[in-house]
Structure 1
Amino acid sequence: MLAVQLAELNGAEPAGVAQALELVTGFDDALAHGFARLGEERSAALGALAGALSGTPLGARAAEAAEKVAAGSIADDHLVALAGGRTAVLGAVHDALLTGLDAALGRTRAEWAPQAGEAPAYGENLLAGCRSWLHELAITGWRGVDHDLVAASGQMIDALLAEPALRRPAVLLDGLAAELRANCPVATMDRLPARRWADMWARGMMLAQPRALPEGGADTVSGRVTVLGVELHEHGTAVQAQAHGLLEPTGGGPVRLVRISVSAAKVDTILGPAVWRLLGGCPVLLGALAGHHAVEIDGMPLRDSGDLVWREDLARPGTPVDPFAAARVHLAGALAPAVPPLDRHPVRIAEPVLLEGYKAVKDDDGLRFDLGGGDALPVDLDRLSPSGPLTPQLVAASTACLGLLRWDAGEWSVQPLGVQTKVKRETVAVHNGDWALGPTDPKVVKAEARAGDAVAVLRERAGRLLRK
């Protein structure tokens, strides 16, 4: 990424973004206080959101829903319409930002192709239970959430987790319930994460609809995948490793940006580098992350969203590869995937970029990469994973960075996935996934040895229980 590209990215904000976010903020404030006790101001906020959708297919339903909710008649259909309206407004913001990003980077993006036909129906009674709990949250509002309301979700979430086809809403609602439980009674909180919880509530309402929109088609692809970097998503009961890479298709064709996601259940006592052991069923992928070699795939499904449906039996280790060298050659011209409708949200923007020739500058606002030309890019150090060797000190001393461009709180930032830095006068590369097969830092190895292998202990205890 060049200074001129950053200057274009940091230029004028796309028209309408600020106004759209104000509408969402008004909705989130109403949800925080509960739809059962809306005053004039918060009723007007719902009406304003519906008004912004007047020229869309959602317009009539959103207007009716805002009117009914303001009058105290809160039905499931009304909540779905409002959640859909909020999702659509944020989707428009996402599209405006991503269009500007693609223009600045000169990146070509595939078009989303809607799939014909209905999606299969899964566990409609379970989804009805989801909607019922989300309905109660909307009526009560975050300020009214107590332990009893959170506990009411337990049986429903357990049933969802037992159904593989419903894993997405299950993990989402499990995470929301965990955050609410940790902050109960919510009325005592000084500051609410209103935007975050409203995001989770609205997405939960969308995913809990029967026959939700299909994720898009999937083709089988073969070729060479070079992993540029990996990020770990964790909460108390789940972990996901999401790798971002470049696919060079067999037989030619444009290089494509792809994602590889593998997940596992966990407990909150498994922390740090130990979480990698939970993903031990993917040795080819973990070996590629730790050993920095390519992966050869043969006939692996690739969704329109750019997600490879990972199967170890369709992958084998390839030749050694330098992610930084691969990014210099292929990243600028790689074809970016289309974004599925339900994933169109500003905070879900995560575009791989290569940054070089910058100067790391620390100030009161944190660390920034100064690319010259008067523009600096904030570095999101809060997203660094404790499960890898990448530290704020290494990032601050780096000379090149592979990362993800993100947009949050009204500005662009970069999430480092790997850096090149000087260690004892030699340039070395440090990546998030270097410890995928276990830590290589002697101090961390000793600390883990003293603490014991939590994963092995829990597996042994689980096996003992199953044998009874």
Structure 2
Amino acid sequence: MRATQLGALTGSVPGGVQATLAVVDGFDDALADGLGRLSPSAVDALEALAGAVAATPLGPRAAEAVEKIVVGSAGDDALVALAGARAALLGAAHDALLTGFDMALGRDRLTWDAGPEGNGLPAAGASGPEGNGVLAGCRSWLRELAITGWRGVDDELVSSSSRAREAAWAEAGLRRLAVLVDGLATELRASCPVEAAARLPVRRWADLWTRAQLLAWRGGWTPDADTAERVSGRLLVLGAEIAEHDTAVRLQVHGILEATGGADAPPRLVRAGVTAAKVDTIVGPALWHLLSAYPVLLGALAEHRAVEIVEMALLEGCDLVWREDAARLADAADPFVTARVLLGRAVAPAAVPLDRHPVRIAEPVLVEDYAAAFDAERRTVTLDLGGAVLDVDVSPVVANPAASHGPLTPELLAASSACLGLLRWDGGAWRLRPLAAQAVVRRKPAAVHVGDWALGVTDPKIEKAHARNGDTVAVLRERAGRLLRK
């Protein structure tokens, strides 16, 4: 990314984005207070939401939904119409931001094929009659949440979701809905009593509620790996990021696929994600041990090697359904060389309709020729490219390397000369989430990556500290084995 490209990207926000997000914020505030007791400002917010989609196919249904809710008839059809309107507005903001990004960087992107079904809301329970009862149970709890509002949530309301969650977990085709509803219930329970909280994650909870409403209405959003495109070729890794929760960890690898059998086909930006269960005591480098079932993927990260894949499923959003038996490690492949040679002409995937949200934007970029600044007190890093300033998201790069997922630190980012990362839209501005950095370490040029510890800690001091404290994962597995043998 050059200074002119960053300047064009950050110079102005695409028209209508801020106004669209303001409409969404108004609805989110109304949802926080509860749709069962609407204030005049909340009524205005609902009408603004319906008005924003009035010219779309959702317009009549959104307007009718607002009328029903204002008179106290908050049924499933009305709530899903509002959820659809909210998702459509965020999708429009997502598209505008991504179009601006593509224009600034000159990135080619695939277009989404809506298919014969179009973009309208399907009938409730479109996944089939076997899932209708389960979906209805989830919708019932989501309806109670919307009527009560976040500020009225208590332990009793959260506990009332248990039967719906258990039923959703039992349906393999509803796994995404089950995980989502279970996660929302867990967050709400951890925040109870919610009314006593000084600050609520209103946008996040509204996002989860909206997505759950759409999944519970249709049920059949789960990608079908059996009918997905099969690809073979060389996967060149750019970097990886780790997302963790108290009960799960997910590794998301970003790379470029050079498919075989198509000499004229451009390289494609793809992702590969794997997940493992965890407990809250497993943190830092120990998280990598939970992913030991994926040695090829971890080896590619730690050893900076390419991966040869054969007949691996590629979903419509360019997400590889990772299979270790369909992958093998290949020759060394420096991610920075890959980015300099291929990233500029790689084709980006089209966004899956349900994922069209500004927070989902995560575009791989290579930033060079900048002056980095580090604020030690605020723990912030900024990159100055000829007057165009880019903030770096250092939240995944903690101050204490012993608790980090990898050796990348804010101090190293501040001393870097090149940074490979994901450009995201966060808090109303573009920010860079680092995946790797090139810097001079102890008078020697070095490249440091988030995934360098995928096969084990390489820093002797941190390795010694972890050896002294013991392997948390091994200890927990041993204890679990003892319990199972009793």
Query: Which amino acid is 2:392 matched to?
Result: V
Q: CA deviation at 1:454?
A: 2.1
Task: Identify the residue that residue 12 of structure 1 maps to in structure 2.
Answer: 12
The one of 240, 246, 253 equivalent to 1:236 is 246
Q: CA deviation at 1:159?
A: 4.1
Q: CA deviation at 1:158?
A: 4.0
Query: Which amino acid is 1:137 matched to?
Result: L
Q: Contact conserved, 2:380 with 2:410, CA < 8 A, in 1?
A: no
Task: Identify the residue that residue 317 of structure 2 maps to in structure 1.
Answer: 305
Task: Identify the residue that residue 413 of structure 1 maps to in structure 2.
Answer: 431
Q: CA deviation at 1:161?
A: 3.8
Task: Identify the residue that residue 384 of structure 1 maps to in structure 2.
Answer: 397
Q: Are residue 51 (structure 1) and residue 51 (structure 2) matched?
A: yes
Partner SS for 1:336: coil
Pairing 1:181-330 to 2, within 5 Å after superposition: 181-213=189-221, 215=223, 218-251=228-261, 252=263, 253-330=265-342
Query: Which amino acid is 2:453 matched to?
Result: W
Over 3 Å counting, the alpha-carbon distance change for 1:120 and 1:183 in structure 2 is closer
Partner SS for 2:36: helix
Task: Identify the residue that residue 414 of structure 2 maps to in structure 1.
Answer: 396
Over 3 Å counting, the alpha-carbon distance change for 1:345 and 1:298 in structure 2 is same
Give the whole-Å Cα distance in 2 for the aligned partners of 1:416 and 1:75: 44
Over 3 Å counting, the alpha-carbon distance change for 1:316 and 1:161 in structure 2 is same
Query: Which amino acid is 2:54 matched to?
Result: S
Task: Identify the residue that residue 35 of structure 1 maps to in structure 2.
Answer: 35
Give the whole-Å Cα distance in 1 for the aligned partners of 2:443 and 2:218: 59
TM-score for the superposition, normalised by structure 1: 0.96
Give the whole-Å Cα distance in 2 for the aligned partners of 1:110 and 1:60: 31
Give the whole-Å Cα distance in 2 for the aligned partners of 1:250 and 1:429: 29
Q: Contact conserved, 1:50 with 1:63, CA < 8 A, in 2?
A: yes
Query: Which amino acid is 2:135 matched to?
Result: L
Q: CA deviation at 1:440?
A: 1.3
Over 3 Å counting, the alpha-carbon distance change for 1:282 and 1:124 in structure 2 is farther
Q: Runs (4+) of structure 1 moved beyond 6 Å? A: none
Count of residues in Structure 1 that have an aligned counterpart in Structure 2: 467
Q: CA deviation at 1:192?
A: 1.4
Over 3 Å counting, the alpha-carbon distance change for 1:125 and 1:137 in structure 2 is same
Give the whole-Å Cα distance in 2 for the aligned partners of 1:161 and 1:452: 34
* Worse-superposed segment, 155-164 or 434-443: 155-164
Query: Which amino acid is 1:414 matched to?
Result: L
Give the whole-Å Cα distance in 1 for the aligned partners of 2:294 and 2:313: 16
Partner SS for 1:108: coil
Partner SS for 2:12: coil
Q: Contact conserved, 1:115 with 1:214, CA < 8 A, in 2?
A: no
Query: Which amino acid is 2:109 matched to?
Result: R
Over 3 Å counting, the alpha-carbon distance change for 1:436 and 1:155 in structure 2 is farther
CA deviations 1:39-81 (Å, max 9, x no partner) are 1110111011001111111111111111111111111111111
Q: Are residue 370 (structure 1) and residue 387 (structure 2) matched?
A: no
Task: Identify the residue that residue 401 of structure 2 maps to in structure 1.
Answer: none
Q: Contact conserved, 2:374 with 2:411, CA < 8 A, in 1?
A: no
Structure 1: gaps of 5 or more residues: none
Query: Which amino acid is 2:391 matched to?
Result: P
Give the whole-Å Cα distance in 2 for the aligned partners of 1:91 and 1:46: 18
Q: CA deviation at 1:293?
A: 0.3
Give the whole-Å Cα distance in 2 for the aligned partners of 1:306 and 1:47: 37
* Worse-superposed segment, 326-335 or 278-287: 278-287
Pairing 1:328-347 to 2, within 5 Å after superposition: 328-347=340-359
Give the whole-Å Cα distance in 2 for the aligned partners of 1:161 and 1:238: 16
Task: Identify the residue that residue 469 of structure 2 maps to in structure 1.
Answer: 451
Give the whole-Å Cα distance in 2 for the aligned partners of 1:331 and 1:177: 40
Q: Contact conserved, 1:384 with 1:415, CA < 8 A, in 2?
A: no
Give the whole-Å Cα distance in 1 for the aligned partners of 2:49 and 2:57: 14
CA deviations 1:15-44 (Å, max 9, x no partner) are 111111111011000000001110111011
Over 3 Å counting, the alpha-carbon distance change for 1:124 and 1:280 in structure 2 is farther
Structure 2: gaps of 5 or more residues: 399-403
CA deviations 1:360-384 (Å, max 9, x no partner) are 1235693210011x21101111133
Query: Which amino acid is 1:360 matched to?
Result: A
Q: CA deviation at 1:182?
A: 1.9
Pairing 1:94-243 to 2, within 5 Å after superposition: 94-116=94-116, 120-121=127-128, 123-213=131-221, 215=223, 218-243=228-253
Give the whole-Å Cα distance in 2 for the aligned partners of 1:124 and 1:384: 44
Q: CA deviation at 1:278?
A: 1.4
Give the whole-Å Cα distance in 1 for the aligned partners of 2:135 and 2:439: 49
Over 3 Å counting, the alpha-carbon distance change for 1:187 and 1:432 in structure 2 is same
Partner SS for 1:261: strand
Q: CA deviation at 1:331?
A: 0.2
CA deviations 1:162-199 (Å, max 9, x no partner) are 54433322222232222222221111111111111111
Q: CA deviation at 1:433?
A: 0.7
Percent identity of paired positions between Structure 1 and Structure 2:
60
Query: Which amino acid is 2:35 matched to?
Result: F
Give the whole-Å Cα distance in 2 for the aligned partners of 1:437 and 1:446: 16
Partner SS for 2:180: helix
Task: Identify the residue that residue 480 of structure 2 maps to in structure 1.
Answer: 462
Q: Contact conserved, 1:290 with 1:434, CA < 8 A, in 2?
A: yes
Give the whole-Å Cα distance in 2 for the aligned partners of 1:83 and 1:235: 25
Q: Contact conserved, 1:215 with 1:340, CA < 8 A, in 2?
A: no
Task: Identify the residue that residue 459 of structure 2 maps to in structure 1.
Answer: 441
CA deviations 1:327-347 (Å, max 9, x no partner) are 000001100011000000001
* Worse-superposed segment, 182-191 or 207-216: 207-216
Give the whole-Å Cα distance in 2 for the aligned partners of 1:248 and 1:198: 39
Q: Contact conserved, 2:418 with 2:438, CA < 8 A, in 1?
A: yes
Query: Which amino acid is 1:314 matched to?
Result: A
Q: Contact conserved, 1:229 with 1:432, CA < 8 A, in 2?
A: yes
Q: Contact conserved, 1:346 with 1:407, CA < 8 A, in 2?
A: yes
